[in-house]
Structure 1
Amino acid sequence: MKMKKILLTTGIVCLALAGWISADLISSSISVDGSSWIKSSVTGDRSYAGLMFTTDTSTVTRSVDFSKALDTQTRISSTGPLGVSEYSKQTNAPKDEFWRCLFARSDTNPEQRNEIETRGILSSGNYTGVRGLTENLTTAGTDINGNGLMSLSKRSESMNRSQEERSVAAGRMNVSEYVSSSLTHLQILII
Structure 2
Amino acid sequence: MGATDVNLAELIGSRICHDLISPIGAITNGLELLDMVGAVQGPEMELISGSVGSAGARIRFFRVAFGSTSDQPLGRSEVAELLKDVERAGRVRVNWNLTEAVPRNQVKLAFLALMCCESAMPFGGQVDISASDTGWQVTGTADKLNIDNDLWKNAATGNFANKLTPAQVQFALLPETAAAMGRRVAAEIGTTRVTLRF
What TM-score do you get using the length of structure 2 for normalisation?
0.30
Larger RCO (CA within 8 A; separation ≥ 6): 2
Larger radius of gyration: 1
Between Structure 1 and Structure 2, which shows a larger proportion of strand residues? 1
Tell me the TM-score normalized by structure 1.
0.31
Q: Give the structure with the higher percent helix.
A: 2
